[in-house]
Amino acid sequence: MTEPLPGDLWPDIRPDAARRLMAAAVDAFAARGYHATTTRDIATAAGMSPAALYVHFPSKAAVLFAISRSGHERALAMVEAAFAGPGSPTERMGALVAEFVSWHATKHRIARIVQYELSALSAADYAVVASLRRKTEAVVRALIDEGVRAGVFRVADVRIAARAILSLAIDVARWYTPDFRPAPAELGKRYAELALTMLGAS
Amino acid sequence: MTEPLPGDLWPDIRPDAARRLMAAAVDAFAARGYHATTTRDIATAAGMSPAALYVHFPSKAAVLFAISRSGHERALAMVEAAFAGPGSPTERMGALVAEFVSWHATKHRIARIVQYELSALSAADYAVVASLRRKTEAVVRALIDEGVRAGVFRVADVRIAARAILSLAIDVARWYTPDFRPAPAELGKRYAELALTMLGAS
DNA sequence: TAACTTCCTAAGCGCTTGCTTAGCTCCCGT
DNA sequence: ACGGGAGCTAAGCAAGCGCTTAGGAAGTTA
């Protein structure tokens, strides 16, 4: 059920027990959803007693927020890096979609929480991640805009095209399972081609 | 919050109170999720006491299943009708995507339960809707296959293309809100064009 | 009128939930 | 040697959960 946790995940979260709790929460939230997961589930999966969670987090909601926030920040950073990268709008959009899709597959547990547990966040917590989400979408729109102005993309409506591009990637988190072939990196490349075709790229 | 319930929804569900309970459950499940919704929420929103729910349904899970099952059946019927309709593969695929997207926008509350509350179903209930989901996906694959064989679609991988087409439509349920413009019918047409472009339709 | 059926409610039961409290153990600095 | 903080647990509390029980109001049939 649980895959080995990469050591580079949440390097800033200390102590180690807090990271283990977050990793256990990711598995549980992704599999059953935030509301169906109990604090006992999380603590037990991390090898601790139920009370241990409250040594490191003030509440169950704070665990969700920590996961959702860092996931949103990672997603935005990826998209911004692809936008700022070298190459034509076509090349940069291809790289953006390939990496975004690959992330939604590889980290589909985190991605599921990021994309599908927004309604479980408090109003204050939601405001923080909503701002990150708006920035992410704005970057995609800006890149399509650039391609349209350069004459390499042909789309009827930039706003809808951006939504469609993001939908393709985000929805991967919903259906992806680790046994799916091709593997995430190759899947990302195929989706990048589909996305560029959809944008009418030459 | 609640939009007027179309009279043609669940015409087979009797008595009227059972339909009102299902409608209230749709609003609550779609807004907050199955596990965050209490039986008291549903009954109160339907204008009844908490115990009234158990006059018409054996459990809260049965309400979810009734909603999910009828939603899946409706979705499959739509897709099958578009497949069996008149016209070229291009025309039929355009009609399929347009209608499927329009449904995911108009009925986004039901669609959200259909697409995002699968993990809340019992194993037995899930088996029923999973069968309907496989049939739906198979129809889309068959139509792409037909277009590829007829030489009007150009895709590298039929399985992945089918996933992408379905992703575009399904994800609409996640982000759509009633104030979004263009309205569902027009949104469906724009998405149909994007989908056909993605399939390399001439 | 009387018996029956349908649809609903008031009250509450047993259990689980998120979270708290009090106290223990181990390690580190001096 | 010993004080003190960090990290953890056993026990349990108040609140809310899904669901049950007993019974009542209203309409229908004989």
pLDDT block averages, 10 residues each, chain A of length 202: 52 82 97 98 96 96 97 98 97 98 98 98 98 98 98 96 98 98 98 98 84
| Domain boundary residue, one of B30, B56, B82 | B56
Same domain assignment for residues B89 and B186 = yes
Same domain assignment for residues A97 and A162 = yes
> For residues B91 and A25, what is the distance between their CA atoms, to the nearest angstrom?
46
Supply the pLDDT for residue B7.
Answer: 53
Asked whether the predicted pLDDT for residue B17 surpasses 80, the reply is: yes
Same domain assignment for residues B180 and B116 = yes
Same domain assignment for residues A45 and A120 = no
Supply the pLDDT for residue B9.
Answer: 73
Decide if A9 is inside a domain.
no
Asked whether the predicted pLDDT for residue B2 surpasses 60, the reply is: no
Supply the pLDDT for residue B12.
Answer: 72
Q: What's CA B94's distance to the chain center, in Å?
A: 18
Task: Say if CB B131 and CB B118 are below 8 A apart.
Answer: no
Same domain assignment for residues B147 and B67 = yes
Q: What is the CATH number of the domain that holds B176?
A: 1.10.357.10
| Domain boundary residue, one of B56, B72, B88 | B56
Decide if A37 is inside a domain.
yes
Question: How many domains is chain B built from?
Answer: 2
Per-residue confidence band for B1, with pLDDT thresholds at 50, 70 and 90: very low
> For residues A132 and B118, what is the distance between their CA atoms, to the nearest angstrom?
28
Cis check: omega of the bond before B15, within 30 degrees of 0: yes
Decide if A3 is inside a domain.
no
Burial zone of B118 (CB within 10 Å; 0-12 exposed, 13-18 middle, 19+ buried) = middle
Average pLDDT over residues B23-27: 96
Q: What sign has the CA pseudo-torsion A163, A168, A169, A171?
A: positive
Q: Which domain holds residue A181?
A: 60-198
Supply the pLDDT for residue A11.
Answer: 72
Q: Percent helix, strand and coil across chain A, each rounded to 5?
A: 70, 0, 30
Size of interface A-B (CB pairs under 8 A): 76
> For residues B178 and B172, what is the distance between their CA atoms, to the nearest angstrom?
12
Decide if A6 is inside a domain.
no
Same domain assignment for residues A24 and A112 = no
Q: What is the CATH number of the domain that holds B36?
A: 1.10.10.60
Asked whether the predicted pLDDT for residue B189 surpasses 70, the reply is: yes
> For residues A106 and A78, what is the distance between their CA atoms, to the nearest angstrom?
14
Average pLDDT over residues B56-69: 96
Supply the pLDDT for residue B105.
Answer: 98
Same domain assignment for residues A114 and A39 = no
Q: What's CA B88's distance to the chain center, in Å?
A: 25
Task: Say if CB B80 and CB B139 are below 8 A apart.
Answer: yes
Average pLDDT over residues B62-81: 97
> For residues A74 and B50, what is the distance between their CA atoms, to the nearest angstrom?
44
DSSP assignment letter at A120: G
Cross-chain Cβ contact B160/A197 below 8 Å: no
Q: Is the CB of B55 under 7 A from strand C?
A: yes
- With vertex at residue B47, the alpha carbon angle to CA B44 and CA B53, rounded to the nearest 5 degrees, is 65
> For residues B152 and A191, what is the distance between their CA atoms, to the nearest angstrom?
20
Q: Is the CB of B166 under 7 A from strand C?
A: no
**Cα dist. A92→A98, A173, B85, B94 in Å?**
10, 22, 40, 29
Same domain assignment for residues A113 and A52 = no
Same domain assignment for residues B69 and B34 = no
Same domain assignment for residues B109 and B158 = yes
Same domain assignment for residues B146 and B70 = yes
Decide if B8 is inside a domain.
no
Minimal Cβ distance to B119: which of A32, A115, A156: A32
pLDDT in tens, B108-125: 999 999 999 999 999 999
Decide if A11 is inside a domain.
no
Nucleotides of C under 7 A from a protein CB: 6-12, 16-22
| Domain boundary residue, one of A34, A56, A78 | A56
Instruction: Spell out which residues of chain B touch residue A190, defining contact as CB-CB under 8 Å.
Output: 156-157, 160
Average pLDDT over residues B12-36: 92
Task: Say if CB B10 and CB B19 are below 8 A apart.
Answer: yes
Decide if A70 is inside a domain.
yes
Cross-chain Cβ contact B160/A190 below 8 Å: yes
Decide if A113 is inside a domain.
yes
Q: Name the nearest CA neighbour of B6 among B15, B17, B19.
A: B19
Question: How many of the other CB atoms lie within 10 Å of CB of A62?
Answer: 15
Supply the pLDDT for residue A5.
Answer: 52
Supply the pLDDT for residue A10.
Answer: 76
Supply the pLDDT for residue A195.
Answer: 98
Minimal Cβ distance to B198: which of A171, A172, A198: A198
Per-residue confidence band for B8, with pLDDT thresholds at 50, 70 and 90: low
Supply the pLDDT for residue B108.
Answer: 98
Chain A residue closest in CA terms to B197: A198
Same domain assignment for residues B43 and B73 = no
> For residues A88 and A202, what is the distance between their CA atoms, to the nearest angstrom?
12
- DSSP output for B102-142: HHHHHTHHHHHHHHH-GGGS-HHHHHHHHHHHHHHHHHHHH
